[in-house]
Every structure is written in C-alpha cells, then in structure tokens.
Structure 1
C-alpha cells in the first residue's frame, strides 16, 4: 500500500506533462485562415505550404501565426489631398484586398501581422495624393470620378504587389470639395447645360425653317411646271368639261355658248 503513492506520483507527473505538451502542440486554424509556422530553429517556414484549416499538431517549441486569407475591406474616410491647383479635397475610398495562401508566409516574414496599418493605408494615401494632384476640382467633381478610381487602383497595386498583398479593387465613394468651390462648379455646370439647351433649340428652329423653305420651294417649282404645261387649248377643254358637268346639275341656269373670253361659255343664273 505504501508503494502505490510512490508509483502514482511519477505517472501523474507524466500525464500532466503530456497534457501540457499536447495543449502546446495543438493548434486550430479557423475557416478562411492559414497558419504561418515559425520554427524555433530556422525561423519562418516559407518553403512549405502554410497550415490549412482545422486541427493541427506542431512541435511545442514552435509557434503558429494565423492569417485571414479571405477578401477584406479597408475603409479610408476623408483623406485630405490637394488638387492640381492646390485646393484641398477630401476623399472617401474603400480598398478590397487579401493575403493569399501562396505568399502569406512571406508577408509575415517581411511585413508582419499589422500589414494593414503599416503597408496598405500608407500605400492608398500615397497613391490618392499622386492621382488627385493631376486633376482640377471640377474634373474630380464631374467627369473624372471613374478615371481617378482606376488610377488610384493601379498606383496602389504597384506598391502592394511586391509586398505580397493582393489588391482586388479601390472604390471611390465620395469626393468632398470646399463649399464655395462646389457651388461655383454647380453654377457653371448649370450655365453650360442651359447654353446647350439654347443651342439645341436654335438648331431645331433652323431645321424647321429650312424644312418650310424646302416645302415652299417645292410647291413653287410644281406650280411653275404646271403653268408651263397649261396651254390655251388645254384650258378651253377643261372649261368645256366643267360647263358640261354644271349643265347636268338640277339647279336652274342659263348658259350662253361662246360668249366668254377665249370663247368659253358663260353661266348665268343659279337658283
């Protein structure tokens, strides 16, 4: 009976040691995550694929850093930048990015877990300042929104790709101008719109007038052709035809044959 406690104590110690060892060795990688293995001897493991989702066993003296490899969104609000003429513009933008499985170990080795603050934010701000500085406030407010969005994306991508960060999109959500500049631009745009409408009305009126002139000219030409084709003989024949039709009418009348100009009949009386 005295020997049981002496045997049980080492076993208990071994069991506790195993529990601690397993606890330190077991790692659970969540959905959408990858584990970057840091070895006590050798540092960050970049030659092998990162640890996948689920339960993983690693040596207790090594360490695992978890990274989200899904697409993530960074919202940059009210970035203050200068336009080409030196006026301050405030711009809101969303950045869609992700750490990829293939390069996540290199990202951890070169940039670390705070890469969003240390790399992405400065890159977006730098690219935005560079792009917006090429345009006037009027261009930014009206016609160039899509252009600056594309250019900011391209500039940011050049900065992030060599640093093992995949950039998926840059979305410019809002461009805020100083109130006085915005009002001046809106007045100018309104005046331009009114001018375009006035020019349109002038062009429309000119086309209508041209149409009327063409129709009148056509009628005049038709009358000339008709007049040229009507000889005295034709007119007499037409007059006789008309007289015959009138004579057949039931209304009372007196017809004097050959008494009119050019020998045409004259009709008297109409009751």
Structure 2
C-alpha cells in the first residue's frame, strides 16, 4: 500500500477542516421562519437589527442561529375557571398568535424558545379567570359568550403586547357547566320561553277583540247614518226604479199597479 505524500496529509486535513467550517457556517432558514443570531465573541444575542430572513446564510462558525416560526400559530387551551358565584366552569379557548418579527431577538433573549409556556399560556389563563369571574353561569351559558370572548382577547393582548408577541384572535369554543346547573338553566329558559309565548297569545287575543269592537262600532255608525238618510220619498223612488228594471226583464211576470200600501206596483211571477 502506497503511503500518502507528506504534502498530501496537510492538504487533506485542510480540506476536512474547510468542510467542517462551511457546515458550521451555512444556515438555511425555511419558509415562514426567521433566525436570531448569537455571537459568541460579539455580545451574545443580536437585538439591534432585523432577524435573519428566509433563505441561505453564511455566519462565523463560532456563532449560532436560533430559528423561530414567525407565521400565525394556534394554541388550544382547556381550563377550569370560577363564575361570579363560585361555581366551577370549564371553558375551551383557542388563541392565534405570532412573534413580532422586528422584536424576535428581544423575545429570544428575554423569554427564550419556550415563550409559549412561559408567557402565552399564563396570560390566557389569567385573563380567562378574571373575565369569567364577572359573570354568572346563566350569562355564560346563554347570552354573554361573545362578550366573554372579546374581553379575554382584550386582557390577554394587553399582557402579550409587552412581551414581543402579537395576539390576533381568541376564540371561546366551548363552555361546560356542571350538569345540575345546566339542567336548571335549561328549565328556567324553557319556562321563560313559555311565559313569553303566553303573553304573545294574550296580546294577540286582545288586539283581535279590539279590532272586532272597532269594526262593530263602524258598522253601527254606518247603519245610523244610512237610516237617517233614507226618507219615504227616497225609498219610493228606489222602489219605482227596481220595478221598472224588473218589468223590462224578459222573464214572464204579472204587474199589478198601485196594489202596495205605498202605491208601488207589485210584480207577480205567473209561473
């Protein structure tokens, strides 16, 4: 076996060292990610500039890059909380969040890679307990869910805005009450619905009675006016007009003139 020439050993060692240095120096940051540069001999975490963006980067081999996802992410958080009267309620909430891109270095330096467990989860839990504690189980179950969702978002955002984290939305997906409380609320809501329905029927009946009364009064007033306007001469004229129309009819008939009490003709059908 031939030995390597003496000059070949240093060259081979140099090539190996170069490959190692390049491997240590090359960093590829994927889509939706950003990198925080840590300078071992240059003051640690770089916080006074933008993070490293997507793509290929070359750094000093003694430095290090910490890669963070900067797209919107979701955390699902089930938690027990207490209502205003001390009953335990279980709510399930989701939060949409993402690191503030320009402050990624500060986030890494002050909170670290586990900022989700150190900052976001405690903030959501604290806000949820504070908000739910203002409401009764009845309000939580029926009409206040949207208000609770908005208030949890507002209070959580106040906390996270100071922690280099952007909160986009909080969604309350479910509110679970103790079975006995839930059954009692449902019975109460059913009774209230029945009471409203009964009031509606009463109001409808009262309006119908009022309509009939007004209609009867209108008919009575019309009859009074009509009776006052019908004199004997008008009635006689109407009778004569009707007699003439019947006399002109093609049907066979017998007309007796002047036989009525008021002197109007009588028409008798000969059939």
Normalized against structure 2, the TM-score is what? 0.92
Distance in 2, matches of 1:246 and 1:266, equals 10
2:201 matched to which residue of 1? 201
1:107 aligns with 2:97: no
Unpaired segments ≥5 residues, structure 1: none
2:73 matched to which residue of 1? 72
Bigger mean CA deviation after superposition, 174-183 or 246-255? 246-255
- Give yes or no for contact 2:26–2:57 (8 Å, CA) kept in 1: yes
Shift of residue 217, structure 1, vs aligned partner? 1.8
Shift of residue 118, structure 1, vs aligned partner? 0.7
1:11 aligns with 2:11: yes
1:137 matched to which residue of 2? 137
1:31 matched to which residue of 2? 31
Partner SS state of residue 5, structure 1: coil
1:56 matched to which residue of 2? 57
- What is the CA deviation profile of residues 17-53 of structure 1, one whole-angstrom value per residue up to 9, with x for unaligned ones? 1111111111111111111011113011011211111
Tell me: CA distance 1:112–1:267, structure 2 relative to 1, closer, same or farther (3 Å). Answer: same
- Give yes or no for contact 2:257–2:264 (8 Å, CA) kept in 1: no
Distance in 2, matches of 1:169 and 1:215, equals 59
Bigger mean CA deviation after superposition, 208-217 or 237-246? 237-246
- What is the CA deviation profile of residues 67-89 of structure 1, one whole-angstrom value per residue up to 9, with x for unaligned ones? 00000000012x10000111100
Partner SS state of residue 23, structure 1: helix
Distance in 2, matches of 1:140 and 1:206, equals 37
Unpaired segments ≥5 residues, structure 2: none
Distance in 2, matches of 1:170 and 1:254, equals 95
Distance in 2, matches of 1:158 and 1:164, equals 11
- What is the CA deviation profile of residues 181-210 of structure 1, one whole-angstrom value per residue up to 9, with x for unaligned ones? 111111111111122222222222222222
2:120 matched to which residue of 1? 120
1:46 matched to which residue of 2? 47
1:181 matched to which residue of 2? 181
Distance in 2, matches of 1:102 and 1:5, equals 54
Distance in 1, matches of 2:151 and 2:253, equals 94
Partner SS state of residue 76, structure 2: strand
Backbone CA RMSD of aligned residues: 2.0
Partner SS state of residue 73, structure 1: strand
Distance in 2, matches of 1:17 and 1:171, equals 53
Shift of residue 256, structure 1, vs aligned partner? 5.0
Partner SS state of residue 212, structure 1: helix
2:256 matched to which residue of 1? 255
Shift of residue 3, structure 1, vs aligned partner? 10
Tell me: CA distance 1:269–1:74, structure 2 relative to 1, closer, same or farther (3 Å). Answer: closer
Shift of residue 242, structure 1, vs aligned partner? 2.7
Distance in 2, matches of 1:98 and 1:64, equals 19
Tell me: CA distance 1:226–1:270, structure 2 relative to 1, closer, same or farther (3 Å). Answer: farther
Distance in 2, matches of 1:262 and 1:207, equals 47
